Structure 1
Amino acid sequence: MSHETLAPSVARGAAADEKPTKNRTFGFHVKEEIEPRWLRAKQASAYVGISYDHLQKLREKGRGPQWRKVGGIVLYDVQDLDAYILSHPAKGGR
């Protein structure tokens, strides 16, 4: 996997002074700066800058970004959110 496909914090590596924390679920150490790839609906709405209600309406109409439902939780892939925003033409500027 190339560094271009990784989140910036993962691609550049951890800083020397950052300390790992113990993950209570699995019992191994993880770095806190790892950015999640999958976002819940409220996180996704904040990520793209639209309201949660608007994102929900887009999802219901089948017009919003791709999403998945896992165990009753709606999840959005950050890459799908980026692709959705980039699919809309840029306007304004010079």
Structure 2
Amino acid sequence: MADSNSLTPLDLARQAVTQAEAAYELALELQTLLDALSGAKDDSAPASPLIFPLQRMANRACLAADVAHVAALRVRDGLGEVVR
């Protein structure tokens, strides 16, 4: 990665978009895993009472990552990046 002092605002915005996308993907993966765990009907292992609060937290993480992604896209586009 280049020295942050040599990066242009557009380069920084591109990095922000990439990081926000990665955060969203991780939060969505966690949310999907927790949804699968809550839907498991295995009688030998009762559902953990923590599943519901963890699902709510994962949902909020997804929403926050989505907001960050949209904001980063707007900044990038405002700096002149061509939308693909």
Higher relative CO (CA 8 A, sep ≥ 6), structure 1 or 2?
A: 2
Asked if these proteins are the same fold (TM beyond 0.5), I'd say no
Shorter-chain TM-score tier = under 0.3
Greater helix content: 2
TM-score with structure 2 setting the length? 0.28
Greater strand content: 1
